[in-house]
Structure 1
């Protein structure tokens, strides 16, 4: 998928206004999920943003995720249609399996997603929080190409093997929580790079992630100031030494473990 370097993660957003603001300042990728319980909010913000700007619906990637209770083959279609209705869209641009747990069975769940692509309800299929073996099995089970793998990625939690797998198989890595839950300001290598570029640790964390092809990010933000700052961070270029220093951060802290 041709996703922009920075999209909007919406977990915890319960007001449509930031969604509309995001579109007005340049965001073209909105990410939500069934478990966030805010698809209707995102849909309301999307509609308002499209009405208030000259942004076309076809230029915005709207993504959501099926929770682990929705992954039975008989549940995938009805749940996806409900998500589309809540989001106010005719087509889901990207539909993920949120986690390979619960009712997930690759040989049953993924063909049900393929059927939604054939029907035109879904444009692209993705997976989220998968490990390498899960990814291989999904690629084998899907008829549609795997479009994206959404995974936690930030300076305190980084799995290079997942990025390399995406390069080898031609799909996008969508990095969630790229700001490490607000903790990037505690990481010396990130703080040092921010000082050198007269910017914020948050900007450095986003720039570090988006420089790793084929990684894009979806930081959450609500205020216009933070929305603009996150969007601009993708233009920051770190030096090889700065990137290496962040890569070498030893402490790993997964915010959303299995």
Structure 2
């Protein structure tokens, strides 16, 4: 598995997303993923599944040094004391003495961003998270983070797929050598029925979803964390790594409409 080196960590380019996975089903899915070779697990306090994920990691007996575990602090807990309480609770549920990456899950309009980032940097300095980062940050928020606060962020995790243009954000991230971690990389399943992607897939003996995923993973500095609870889907996503897209494929994908945002909660930022 290819990795992205960022701020002292090596993050596998393909990870396992776990949003909406719960309880024993979540534990079984993570155990399955780890047995298939996934080493990048993405969760968040808001998902309510850190406990089963911790149980799956413990049961897997995969050496901790081989794993990359990301979790996130929820938007309502961005005061410095609340961040620490959230972090402590996450670590306990995950049964870990550190995580590899700790993210601000969503920006809040009322947050004191420098204080938030300062708290995350302290957690990193204490060795409790190996790296820190953000999610759902616009270029304006990134400028404050990177250029004013100078926080050593290891990624910005955002929605990104063949149906959503993120070129402005990507250009900024590339300039500052910050990886983009793509959530909803399959546009919440919408890519499966796209005729263009389906045709490219047939050409290569692959599915439309595998084409969409490989398009992302072929980009420098881009990782993807598709949610997959069934072993068959997990394996299909891993098999996408074997696919080779050509210039004609990329041109056809570039011509697809890129205005489909799947995730835009009312408390989210004004996307720029």
TM > 0.5: yes
Question: Which residues of 2 match residues 116-195 of structure 1 at below 5 A?
Answer: 116-142=123-149, 144-195=151-202
Flag the 1:159–1:74 CA change in 2: closer, same or farther, 3 A. same
CA distance in 2: counterparts of 1:198 and 1:64, whole angstroms: 35
Residue in 2 that maps onto 1:41:
52
Question: C-alpha displacement at 1:188, in angstroms?
Answer: 2.6
CA deviation vs aligned residue, 1:73-109 (integer Å, no higher than 9, x gap): 1211121111011111100110000111155321111
SS of 1:183 mapped into structure 2: helix
Matched, 1:9 2:44: no
CA distance in 1: counterparts of 2:258 and 2:102, whole angstroms: 32
CA distance in 1: counterparts of 2:258 and 2:172, whole angstroms: 23
Count of residues in Structure 1 that have an aligned counterpart in Structure 2: 254
Question: C-alpha displacement at 1:201, in angstroms?
Answer: 0.7
Residue in 1 that maps onto 2:65:
58
Question: C-alpha displacement at 1:221, in angstroms?
Answer: 0.7
SS of 1:93 mapped into structure 2: strand
Q: TM-score, normalised by structure 2?
A: 0.89
CA contact (8 A) 1:20 1:49 kept: yes
CA distance in 1: counterparts of 2:48 and 2:148, whole angstroms: 29
Q: TM-score, normalised by structure 1?
A: 0.94
Structural RMSD (CA): 1.4
CA deviation vs aligned residue, 1:163-211 (integer Å, no higher than 9, x gap): 2222211121110111111110232321121111111011001100111
CA contact (8 A) 1:126 1:147 kept: yes
Matched, 1:75 2:82: yes
Matched, 1:26 2:37: yes
